[in-house]
Structure 1
């Protein structure tokens, strides 16, 4: 899916531009028209799928994984595939990782539903799809694994870590087969630092933390300000702003890394870098804030690289700027990504893999820590994804009890050894229980439209008028469900049991009691 998505973007741009992402050599009228044409195509797809507003990308996927086991709606996936393709091809400052995450999670969840896997397994499979998507998009398998664990699933468990790792490796292998082995920032090299420069890196990180806070707050301000405006007019406004900026500063269009390479190859002065930084931030904030279907990580990386190059300028009296501009651009990427997403480990691994420079690790740590602390502690800046989730009123926090139970499927706990009677008299059941007092006995009553199931057991109430056998109604739940759904069925009575079925509710696969649910709940809490 991601390979097809990337090939689609490249095909559209090859039809319109001299080379991918090279808007500077396109005619001025084309730079203005392309975002408008892109929005027109996005709206056509939204109209065909019946969409009135967009809920796509990484925040939406986090919500679906936390509250819907990673099940992604088909219409949203269609909009993300084509909408993201048109947005990226037409020059909007959005990243391809947003669509990659969405498409990766959707593809794997569709596979899980087709295989009728348990929902807790589909959630893990969705995480695998996200890792494969990011890895296929940027050729960064390790950063993809860390991103899934740190940002999306927000937990480290070995039974999740291993399949996610394998999926990321597969995504990287496939993208290398199609697009080659070159990493995204192959044109950047990291220069060795003098010891005294580490002190400046702390100041450097503080500045990036402040810039990231400004970016997040302005993005959320744009989203809130234009909330009453309809989707059509918001997208058209984003296209007009992007097209107008492209008339005067074509290098500010798109979130393609090659645009940064072309800029740095021309030995730009600080004024040009500062201008590009301001315009790139403006275009990213308006495009994402007004609802263009694309990711935020790509623009944040570019903004970080430009900010890093700009913050190198104060050292011009002591350093040869061209020798260190690549190094500071990479460090700016790491600091900005950390402070915006609140994902320091993912940022560290991403910058290392993108640059293929392990020697960047220590300097990056000196930038990442102050950037993160400045953003979170001094400016009280939250992850941009969590802010977007709150704005869209999408749930991402789950009750601890439910979260524990959702990790266990009913198939792994249910009791499959049981005796089933079909409309049998009570005496026959009593005789059987007398000989097999520990067995699970299910009584089935057949009706014209459906069957009804009851659990038969000895009455232990010590009531003199009670029958020897008591029958408890059994609710049915699908074999794909988790212990959370079983808990919901029995929590009011704090007793009883449910029966498990596969495709036919009239066929019992197993029985799950309240005691079994309680046992696993206590084990999970311990």
Structure 2
């Protein structure tokens, strides 16, 4: 292993990305990530629409009630057959996809999303959604967007701390492209996926979301995901409805999440059995209640305009809740944000009909549904701001802002404080045996790469070293001496320690001139060392030190052509000093 000189051009670009304030570089990468994510999610949606059009004409899009009941029963089973075939073709044993997979890779694997799950999510997601499973598009889309950013960073060999930002950029761009909601995409990425707000992360995420929205609007126009009636609301008059809706959504969110986790705990059973069970439940329910199939935007519009009766709304709420929870929990590769909005709208409209019958309110058309959507989403995701902004952008109705805020707070308090419920994605990962806690120190250390803190002031010497070479090395005034033993780095010595001992080492006990010194034998402070890759974060470096009971690491750059090169040194004291300085 050899020391390497400083390199120009792209190496410097990668080195700058190891800093927490590399905003210009991250902005450029965010722009590219937003573009690629928009292309991927657009292709994803177009293929879903193409396959759906094979059995549902454009005028009947998402209207599964137009199909005969045998086809409604068979469609989810056909989709499962395709999904299982894809899993076997790609030899993917873990079966973990979607937003939960993104959060897992972000927290436990430094944001490195593999290619194979990306391909599987793309094609299996198309098969699942096009075959009418009771799931949403946003889960696969966020996975595809996050993986687009991560794979771009891995291809460019960027440091791991910048991969986290690219994952957030892809997640935001996916939501922005899918729902035509750029602000909601930004908030979702920071509140749900990354779970932190920093300026260095926020600016590139904003740009990625905007770029995705611009591309989407240039292709599909500026229309929202679904149309809602225009309403004018007096919050005080509707306060009883808002409070009851908030309480109802909090309780329904708890039921929905616990059902998902209950189904997710069947992960010891074979995948084909779980997927078949989900398909049968959806297909059988759809015989009598076809509106539970698919994304349900058509039905959602009917709910918004009060075109459905009270009894039917009750059945629809229960049917969608059970089929969506089963589909997601049993492993169908789809999202839960769409179903959460659907359940919230149906349940909210149910509460509105009930309060109208009891004379507690006289609500405008669609108002209870909008309030229910926001409250349900906020309680399920444990992300109040994401829910508020999402519904505001989806409906484009500022009059819904204050009522939704009140309902979200009530639903969030009931689910998180009364029932101690975490985000559904955290619960799903826990059901898979993956338990991670959000440590503020770890979050901060993940934002910086080892290259931003390492010391390049070092000389590499062999254990038995001639005095002339020692004197020559000390003339460069290095901070550290990396000592090789049998051709491999073994110890790290402060250069000042050798300078103190050098005069005494010139002669042995008999005052005979000594030509070489044993750098591992002289009385001096030394640190045992191990290697770590240049792309690693400070958090990874600290974990490696803890696992090996070390206080120092030497940083290497893997180069297939020229071999591994040593770039610098990082110590535990360096990491602690970095964390104590505001960034």
Same fold, judged at TM 0.5 (above): yes
Change (3 A) 1:374 1:398: closer
Shift of 1:128: 0.8
The reply on whether 1:32 has 2:73 as its aligned counterpart is yes
State whether structure 2 residue 528 is matched by structure 1 residue 478.
no
The equivalent of 2:343 in structure 1 is 303
The Cα shift of 1:212 comes to: 1.3
SS at structure 2 position matched to 1:78: helix
* In structure 1, distance between residues paired with 2:68 and 2:223: 30
Once the two structures are superposed, residues 467-526 of structure 1 have per-residue CA deviations (whole angstroms, 9 ceiling, x without a partner) of 5873666533222112234334545565445133252553233333444233213336x9
Please name the residue that 2:180 is paired with.
139
**Does 1:516 pair with 2:574?**
yes
TM-score (norm 2): 0.82
Within a 5 Å distance, the mapping from 1:282-293 to structure 2 comes to 282-293=322-333
CA distance in 2, matches of 1:477, 1:270: 62
Superposed counterparts of 1:19-418, under 5 Å: 19=58, 20-193=61-234, 195-224=236-265, 226-262=266-302, 267-316=307-356, 318=359, 324-397=364-437, 401-418=441-458
Unaligned runs of 5+ in 1: none
- In structure 2, what is the Cα distance between the partners aligned to 1:474 and 1:443? 10
Kindly indicate whether the alpha-carbon contact (under 8 Å) linking 2:228 and 2:304 is maintained by their aligned counterparts in 1.
Answer: no
Residue aligned with 2:456, SS: coil
Q: 1:305 to 1:400 in 2, by over 3 A?
A: closer
Distance 1:501 1:428 in 2: 29
Compute the displacement of 1:173 (Å). Answer: 1.3
CA–CA distance in structure 1, aligned partners of residues 427 and 247 of structure 2? 22
Q: Could you say if the C-alpha distance between residues 481 and 276 of structure 1 is closer, same or farther in structure 2, counting changes exceeding 3 Å?
A: same
**Change over 3 Å in CA distance of 1:372–1:416 after alignment to 2:** same
For 1:509, what is the secondary structure of its paired residue?
strand
> Which segment drifts farther, 341-350 or 27-36?
27-36
Q: CA deviation at 1:424?
A: 9.2
2:57 to 15, 18, 38: 18
Q: Which moved more, 1:255-264 or 1:148-157?
A: 255-264
Partner SS state of residue 459, structure 1: helix
Residue correspondence of structure 1 range 418-429 to structure 2 within 5 A: 418-419=458-459, 425-429=465-469
Determine the C-alpha separation between the residues in 1 that align with 2:540 and 2:285.
52
Measure, in 2, the Cα distance between the counterparts of 1:382 and 1:455: 45
* Structure-1-length-normalised TM-score: 0.90
Query: Cα distance, 1:186 vs. partner?
Result: 2.5
- CA distance change for structure 1 residues 237 and 362 in 2, over 3 Å: closer, same or farther? same
Relative to structure 1, is the Cα distance of residues 382 and 483 closer, same or farther in structure 2, using a 3 angstrom cutoff?
Answer: closer
Structure 2 match to 1:459? 497
Unaligned runs of 5+ in 2: 1-39, 507-516, 521-525
Which residue matches 1:2?
A: 41
Distance 2:270 2:550 in 1: 48
User: Residue 20 of structure 2 aligns with which residue?
Assistant: none
Q: Do the aligned residues in 1 keep the contact of 2:169 with 2:205 (CA within 8 Å)? A: yes
1:365-421 CA-partner distances (Å, limit 9, x unpaired): 121111111222223333211211110112432555544332211221223355566
C-alpha change, 1:454 and 1:42, in structure 2 (3 Å) is same
